[in-house]
Amino acid sequence: MKICVFLKRVPHTATKLRLAPGEGGSPSRSIQTQGVEFTMSPYDEIALAEAVRLKDEAGSGEIVAVSVGDDSSLVILRTALAMGADSAIHVRAEIPTGLELDGFQISTVLAGFLRERSFDLLCFGRLAVDDQNSQVGTMTARLLGIPSVADVIKVQPAEGCLRFHHLIEGRVEVVECKLPAAMTAQKGLAEPRYPAIKQIMMAKKKPCETIDAEVPEPVLETMSLEPPPARNPGRIVGEGAGAVPELLRLLREEAKVI
């Protein structure tokens, strides 16, 4: 089975965001990237771990790690090679500093290059933890005319197809798809395994191809990025169980939420 895994470079989730100043007095449109630690988006990591698990279980197969972006994407591709991908493809696209390609642009680029390749399974994270638009996996699959399943928590190989267990509206549905197919990974699907030094060294010998993307015009224009509305300073109502009646009074009379 040939599996492509799609990876996005994002700020580490522990990052305390600072906004970059806007140009010429206009509002900020991006975060400050200086001093920020970038990583592979956590759900992409899970998708990669599941691809490795499926290959191990089958005893054969090939995993290709793919990332769209400028040269900074190479770092996460190298990590992916160390984590078990066999080869990497950097789909090179220049991105204005701090801004993002939108979901339409990324999906169009991915579908364009995938039409010329053979694959059995496309693995995406359910969303990237930066812009959180959660559309690229499903959009790419629909553009390619292949089935896709989102928020997958278990993959079972079956006769000539795969069974995807996924979360939908609080229930688990098991969806059977003929290949090629696409899926997006939800937490619980697989545990990412972080590479040892030996794997990191070996990854340097694995092939990494670069192709230039033809990026369509964006659909979305970022107007501003702002901090969330500040919360009113709260207060400590008291200590221990004795503070409960006062808490309830405040919730009823001041907050009026119960």
21 lies in the site for other proteins, by CB under 8 A: no
The single residue among 61, 98, 192, 218 that binds other proteins, judged by CB under 8 A, is 218
What does the per-residue mask of binding to other proteins show for 177-196, with x meaning CB under 8 A? xx--x----xxx--------
Determine if residue 151 is left, alpha or beta; phi over 0 gives left, psi from -120 to 50 gives alpha, anything else beta.
left
176 lies in the site for other proteins, by CB under 8 A: yes
The least CB distance from residue 234 to other proteins, in Å, is 4
User: Long-range contacts made by residues 151-155, C-beta under 8 angstroms, separation at least 24?
Assistant: 151/126, 151/184, 151/186, 152/50, 152/183, 152/184, 152/185, 152/186, 152/189, 153/186, 153/187, 153/188, 153/189, 154/189, 155/50, 155/54, 155/183, 155/189
The single residue among 11, 61, 98, 192 that binds other proteins, judged by CB under 8 A, is 11
228 lies in the site for other proteins, by CB under 8 A: yes
The least CB distance from residue 255 to other proteins, in Å, is 5
Neighbours of 118 (CB within 10 A): 7
E-strand ranges in 23-179 read: 38-40, 62-69, 87-92, 121-125, 148-158, 161-168, 171-178
Binders of other proteins in range 113-172 (CB under 8 A): 129-143, 146-151, 153, 163, 165, 167-172
The single residue among 51, 66, 68, 102 that binds other proteins, judged by CB under 8 A, is 102
The least CB distance from residue 146 to other proteins, in Å, is 7
In this chain, which stretch among 84-92, 112-120, 200-208, 243-251 interacts with other proteins, using CB under 8 A? 243-251
The single residue among 1, 20, 31, 200 that binds other proteins, judged by CB under 8 A, is 31
Cα 59 to chain centroid, rounded? 27
Tokens of 157: 């190989």
73 lies in the site for other proteins, by CB under 8 A: no
